[in-house]
Structure 1
Amino acid sequence: MWKKISVMAMTTVMVGTLVACGDDDVKDNNNSNNTQQTTDSGTNSNSHSNTSATDLNNKKFSMSYTEAVEIFKNKHPESDVTSIELSQELGEFVYTIDGVDDANEFEMKFDADTKAILQDNSEKLDAEDANGQERANEKLDLTGIKTPQEAMAAALKQQAGTVKEWSIDRELNQTYFSVQIMNGNQEFEVKLDSKTLAVLSTEQDN
């Protein structure tokens, strides 16, 4: 009889233990699911935040691109400017100024909000680009050009959306503005004559 009672008691304890384990498993699964949902929600939120672009049109900065160019020219007085760009890098708005002299090419980056110099690099030109070759081909003509604000306004008349970045470049002896515009998930590049703002081309980037 005591043997039967002992067996019944052990059986009761085992059943209770299994039920408790089952409850713990359910709780663990629920906690895991909740953690996963929270992580997914956070990931989606971050992803949305990263993909939302700041509209550069009418945005004001402590530093103008002409100030960045002036500092570049003071640092590299024998050089000519070959490219100017304003874009967002790691959450910061950055001017990138490229230039060249007869022997070297230079790149300086500036924080548009704090005016801090973020980068000042140089490297030797290849033989085919040295002795004024790249200077002659890439030098920007900045005399009498329109402002970036005017260029962005003209580009938005051509293509609606949000201005992501702009640059001043040269191609085939013509200095032009390039304005990158986001419209939903589509990205467009509008090129405009730097002096007249005549639209040179509008292309959708792949």
Structure 2
Amino acid sequence: MTTVMVGTLAACGDDDANGDNNNNGNNTQQTTDSGSSSNTTTTDLNNKKFSMSYTEAIEIFKNKHPKTDITSVELSQELGKFVYTIDGVDDSSEFEMKFDADTKAILQDNNEKLDREDANGVERANEKLDLTGIKTPQEAMTAALKQQAGTVKEWSIDREMNQTYFSIQVMNGTQEVEVKLDSKTLAVLSTEQDD
């Protein structure tokens, strides 16, 4: 997954520089001296409004891939853009779409075949998110900041051991803390400081 994400980030950087070409991520050099504060400071997502909501991103994903189940939703900053990443799976493939949260542009739409052990509904059963009746990301960020002071760097909705939860990454100075919250009750499941 890390290899896929590194390749994805490189490909997104190439799209920024060269339009919509497909060069397999060979050009990974990025500069951060462009004077844009978004490359050097953390924007507090708790106070940021976007043109696109995460539910709109999910709806576009589901319309494009109607037979899939959502396995992960994330809002993070990539190469100076705020990006929704929606992951999903069907019985034979996994899918990933990325959207620019400010412009609503589709930045990426990839899929790949599942390994034999994950096919035929295995990964779907293990990873499918239960999005019914969950709290909003805004509510989750507010709850996380009551637990850990700081600014919200990114958030995601994930599943582990049959539990759909919010993961809120909070920056307090140079310290990053992950607060996991039950997606329906916002009960704190764990707080973990990254080294």
Shorter-chain TM-score range: 0.7 to 0.9
Aligned to 2:167: 178
Instruction: Say which one has the larger Rg.
Output: 1
Distance 1:112 1:49, change over 3 A: closer
Deviations 1:110-144 (A, max 9, x none): 00000000000000000000000000000000000
Structure 1's consecutive aligned runs of 4 or more residues displaced over 4 angstroms after TM superposition are: 43-49
Query: In structure 2, what residue type is equivalent to 1:56?
Result: L
Residues of 2 paired with 1:51 and 1:187: CA distance? 16
Equivalent of 2:50 in 61, 67, 72? 61
Query: In structure 2, what residue type is equivalent to 1:69?
Result: I
Aligned to 2:95: 106
State the secondary structure of the residue aligned to 1:57. Answer: helix
Equivalent of 2:85 in 90, 93, 96? 96
Residue 59 of structure 1 and its aligned partner are, at CA, apart by 1.0
Residues of 1 paired with 2:84 and 2:146: CA distance? 25
Structure 1 vs Structure 2 CA RMSD: 1.8
Residues of 1 paired with 2:109 and 2:53: CA distance? 18
TM-score, structure 2 length as denominator?
0.81
Q: Which consecutive residues of structure 2, in runs of 5 or more, have no partner in the other structure?
A: 1-31
Aligned residues: 164
Give the conservation status (yes or no) of the 8 Å contact 1:86–1:95: yes
TM-score, structure 1 length as denominator?
0.77
Give the conservation status (yes or no) of the 8 Å contact 1:58–1:149: no
Aligned to 1:140: 129
Give the conservation status (yes or no) of the 8 Å contact 2:73–2:86: yes
Give the helix-richer structure, 1 or 2. 1
Q: Which consecutive residues of structure 1, in runs of 5 or more, have no partner in the other structure?
A: 1-42
User: 2:47 aligned with 1:52, yes or no?
Assistant: no
User: 2:133 aligned with 1:151, yes or no?
Assistant: no
Deviations 1:35-75 (A, max 9, x none): xxxxxxxx999698744100000311000000000000000
Distance 1:47 1:205, change over 3 A: farther
State the secondary structure of the residue aligned to 2:116. Answer: coil
Distance 1:48 1:59, change over 3 A: closer
Residues of 1 paired with 2:64 and 2:34: CA distance? 42
State the secondary structure of the residue aligned to 2:87. Answer: strand
State the secondary structure of the residue aligned to 2:146. Answer: helix
